A and B are shown apart, each in its own frame.
Chain A
Amino acid sequence: MQRALQQLDSASLVAVVPGYPDETRKLRDALGLSCVVVCDPEWTAHGALGLARGGVRQVWLSPSLWLQYARLLLRGRLPRLPRQDAYPLGGVVVLDEDGAVVWRHASRTAGDYAPIAEIVAAAREGEECHSR
């Protein structure tokens, strides 16, 4: 997504991770993220951005989640049980400079990610609206 958003002149990318600074820094470095990475261990941004909270079905019975776990196992990594609230679902929100929501994808299950092309299209449309 970092690369995809570089095509846009007026959009910046922020990743919000539900962790504390030390662990989030390790994750940022491991993934090679160059965007701002924000720590949100208590999920405060999650609520303010209007994202959803799942139940057992959306979180633990999501086929895409188990697919991700299978990929981890194939790479020799063992999934582990989370030590924090695991029920908030992720998402992507495009905000304008006043903090108004231009576009939002609130994940419906743990493995429900917005397609990158859709995010870029939403940001591009937001850019065009602002330049009119």
Chain B
Amino acid sequence: MPSILDLELVDCDGEPVRLLASGARLTVVVVTRHLR
């Protein structure tokens, strides 16, 4: 299981993005169940 910091994800434009990329002190991550 990858750690939160190592997750390789992409944004809506297909660009790589990390969950903590904003550099904010706190990041609120909402995981939705909007299924295909």
Query: Which A positions have Cβ atoms within 8 angstroms of B?
Result: 1, 5, 8, 10-21, 23-25, 27-28, 36-41, 44-49, 51, 82-84, 86, 88-97, 99, 102, 107, 110, 119, 123, 126-127, 130
Q: Summarize A's interface: helix, strand, loop or mixed.
A: mixed
Distance between A89 CB and nearest chain B CB, rounded to angstroms:
7
Cβ A5 vs Cβ B36 within 8 A: no
Which residues of B sit under 8 angstroms from A39, Cβ to Cβ? Answer: 9-12
- C-alpha gap A39/B36 in the complex (Å): 12
Which residues of A sit under 8 angstroms from B12, Cβ to Cβ? Answer: 21, 24-25, 28, 37, 39
Cβ A95 vs Cβ B31 within 8 A: no
Cβ A110 vs Cβ B33 within 8 A: yes
Which residues of B sit under 8 angstroms from A83, Cβ to Cβ? Answer: 35-36
- C-alpha gap A44/B20 in the complex (Å): 15
Cβ B32 vs Cβ A17 within 8 A: yes
Given A12-B28, A28-B12, 19 further pairs, Cβ under 8 A: A1-B30, A8-B26, A11-B26, A12-B24, A13-B28, A20-B36, A21-B14, A38-B19, A44-B7, A49-B4, A49-B29, A51-B31, A89-B33, A90-B30, A93-B31, A97-B23, A97-B26, A119-B28, A123-B28
Distance between A119 CB and nearest chain B CB, rounded to angstroms:
6
Cβ A127 vs Cβ B36 within 8 A: no
Q: Known contacts A28-B12, A36-B22, A40-B9; is A94 also within 8 Å of B34 by CB?
A: no
